[in-house]
Amino acid sequence: MQALPAIRLALPGDAERYAAAADRLFRQSYGHDAAHAAVMDDHCAKAYAVARIAAQLSAPNVTALVAVSGADILAFAQILATGGDGEIERFYVDRDWHGRGLAQRLMQDVVGRATALGLTSLRLGVWTRNERAIAFYRRQGFVPAGTVDFLLAGLPQSDLMMQRSL
């Protein structure tokens, strides 16, 4: 069995690789759905622009972790700290690493970093149709805390909001 990749803090100098990984892993996660595929290019161009990612990685209230192997980012998570709470804004793992323990290890590191930052809770949103991710977050101690509705390409969608105490 291949060893898990190293997990470390993402730095502003990682912005280009982080943006490319975010684009790739977002497409892996949602590109199969016709509604998402219709707006994929526009969303990725805006959300994962290198300048935007660099600004996020430089922000004092953002902590990003990357799982790296050589030059490749295979997984990443991004925490936004707001007061005593934290929001996991992004949590993606390359599908080739699903079921191999990388997501659990990354979440352990996220929780450890959030605790070290003095955060008392974490929250996240996950697409209600992503049953695998919802099951993972439940196993990690997150519980449902409502839903948020939004439009994507004019089609109604919902995210399940989940939270856990630290």
pLDDT tens string 46-58? 999 999 999 999 9
Summarised one tens digit per residue, pLDDT across range 73-120 is: 999 999 999 989 999 999 999 999 999 999 999 999 999 999 999 999
Higher-confidence residue: 144 or 30?
A: 144
Phi, psi at 77, each rounded to 5°: -140, 150
* pTM greater than 0.85: yes
166, 120 Cβ separation under 8 angstroms: yes
Q: How far is it between the farthest Cα atoms of the chain?
A: 44
Q: If you write DSSP's letter for every residue of 52-109 in order, what string do you get? A: HHHHHHH-TTEEEEEEEETTEEEEEEEEEEETTEEEEEEEEE-GGGTTTTHHHHHHHH
* pLDDT band at residue 156 using 50, 70 and 90 as cut-offs: confident
Tokens of 57: 């990685």
* 71 Cβ contact list (under 8 Å, min separation 6): 17
* pLDDT band at residue 59 using 50, 70 and 90 as cut-offs: very high
Say if residue 145 is exposed, middle or buried (CB neighbours under 10 Å; 0-12, 13-18, 19+): middle
